[in-house]
Amino acid sequence: MTPSTLLSPGERSDIQGLVASGYGHLPWAAYLFFRVQDPELGRAWLRERRREVTTAAPWPRDPEGNRIKPQEAVNLALSAPGLRALEVPASVVCTFSPEFQEGMAHPDRAEKLGDDGESHPSRWELGGPATPPIHGALILHAATEAGVGALVQRQLEVMERNGEGVVLVPDGVQEGTIWSGHAEPFGFRDGIAQPRVEGFHGDGVPTGEFVLGYPNHYGILPPGPLVPHGLDPDRVLPPSENPHHPARHFRDLGRHGSYLVYRKLAQDVAGFWRFMVREADRRGGGRGPSPALRIASLCVGRWPGGAPLELAPHADDPSLADADDFGYAEDPEGLRCPLGAHVRRTHPRDLIHPYGPEASLRMSRAHRLLRRGRIYGRPLFDPGRLLDPSHEVGRLLRELEDDEEPRGLHFLSVEAGIASQFEFVQQAWCNNPRFNGLRDNPDPLIGRMPGPTDPPGTPPAPGQTGHAPGVMTFPRGPIQDRTAPLPRFVTNRGGAYLFLPGLRALRWLSGAVQKAAG
């Protein structure tokens, strides 16, 4: 890669910071979901927020050369209904991607994502048809719980001073954090295998896979939202560089922006481990912890400590906790890491049956996601105990009981194309029971499943399309070991398709759009 393909400091200053960083040094987060009640007051509120948005500009360094990281971060995203509420002209809104315009709760989108049964939008806590529409989200990060609480309070006070032009939706404050050891609620290390972005790191996935206005994996500019030339009289936005839209006709609203997917994923931790213990008992695993841990790890594709089964097929290895430099081409039958394992679906690397390594790598790189989520709720058990394969851990898993407290993941992903990245991964790789040449194997964690109380043959719940229960297959040479039908371990409780505008786009949306509307 040549230095010219790196984004300049000026370009990075026009990109929101959430695109460049997951703010790992700021473990506490809050998501404030809002709606715009008055367009003029909403634009005034947006102008004030624009001044405090954290950008992707390189962090400064102290005299010793250490990066000076921000102690808090504020980012802002808007939905299609939010753009309309701000009186963005229809001629502009219609240039956004169809899936963004329709929203995640649209029946077509819900069908693609497998949001049926207990995950059907009609049952969502946020963003569904039975709840007020989400117009946008403030995404806040801080170093401490007290810090994020103060940041939330500051934003709520600003909303109040604004005259209720912008208000929270019900349950509009959602909190999250990073647990010790970066574990997710099931107890597995999370956040591994994040793609490097060429423009930020000097190598990796092309910038245009995540930031609009740059060439993507195929060497083309992904389509982005545009503003007709006459609606930007002050030339706030840059001219469009898309060859299909002459610069003299359009200004580029999408440049330096990204799409953001949000899903609130509730996790049935007790149900997950009960299933793994039952599967171990079916195989004569006794009361030791290793059989249940191994079956769970086969479903995930990594051990609880993070080591990939492809590199550590027999036991967890702390030295491989963050390993990411490996492929699956030398394991075409899935003897080390099952073909249907969760991590093998979400990032297939160099083997997607029936294609060869080179074609598989091209396809895999074309559907990457930048994950920016946080965990919500309290752990049901100490995830660190899974790293010690003792009989006490076996008893922990066997005696685990649900405390009925909510816990799960605030899933956020950044991409340049919702359909070609997030929706493709969910539909074609995770929900697909025939992925990698399998037959009835959806993703064991986030694939389309019956609900936890829906035995095989149960009629579909409202909004559920009806489907055969899936299993997990563990190849053992010529023999295949199959689990009992998989229940639903992860349920979607809400979601939204959002847009992270660049800073110049935020300026147009908060001010110049008023002239455009007039």
What tens digit of pLDDT does each residue of 206-238 get?
999 999 999 999 999 988 999 999 999 999 999
Q: How high is the pLDDT of residue 450?
A: 60
Mean pLDDT of 83-97: 96
Phi and psi angles of residue 298, each rounded to the nearest 5 degrees, phi first: -65, -35
Q: How high is the pLDDT of residue 476?
A: 78
CA distances from 359 to 80, 206, 265, 348 (A): 35, 17, 32, 11
CB 100 within 8 A of CB 80: yes
Q: How would residue 466 be classed by pLDDT, with cut points 50, 70 and 90?
A: very low
Rounded distance between C-alpha atoms, residue 257 and residue 226, angstroms: 12
Which single residue is written with the structure tokens 């895999």?
Answer: 364
Rounded distance between C-alpha atoms, residue 386 and residue 3, angstroms: 44
**Collapsing DSSP states into helix, strand and coil, what is residue 401?**
coil
Q: How high is the pLDDT of residue 77?
A: 98
Q: Per-residue pLDDT tens for 413-424?
A: 999 999 999 999
What are the residues facing 350 on neighbouring strands? none
CB 450 within 8 A of CB 106: no
Tokens of 256: 């330096």
Mean pLDDT of 263-269: 98
Rounded distance between C-alpha atoms, residue 166 and residue 46, angstroms: 9
Q: Which amino acid is at 80?
A: A
Q: Which amino acid is at 237?
A: L
Tokens of 165: 């032009």
**Collapsing DSSP states into helix, strand and coil, what is residue 28?**
strand
Closest of 134, 19, 7 to residue 73, by C-alpha: 19
Rounded distance between C-alpha atoms, residue 362 and residue 359, angstroms: 5
Count of CB atoms within 10 A of residue 244's CB?
9
Count of CB atoms within 10 A of residue 453's CB?
11
CA distances from 110 to 62, 124, 194, 465 (A): 48, 12, 26, 11
Q: How high is the pLDDT of residue 392?
A: 80
Rounded distance between C-alpha atoms, residue 149 and residue 390, angstroms: 39
Q: How high is the pLDDT of residue 222?
A: 85
**Collapsing DSSP states into helix, strand and coil, what is residue 264?**
strand
Catalogue the E-assigned strands of 130-255.
136-142, 166-176, 226-228, 250-252
CB 421 within 8 A of CB 97: no
Tokens of 297: 């790890």
DSSP state of 346: H
Mean pLDDT of 478-491: 89
Q: How high is the pLDDT of residue 443?
A: 97
Q: How high is the pLDDT of residue 106?
A: 97
What is 82-128 written as a DSSP string? HHHHTT--HHHHTTS-HHHHH-TTSHHHHHHHT--GGGSGGG-SBSS
What is the chain's length? 518
Tokens of 192: 């591994």
Please state, rounded to an integer, the average pLDDT across all residues of the chain: 92
Q: Angle at Cα 330 formed by Cα 443 and Cα 193, nearest 5°?
A: 50
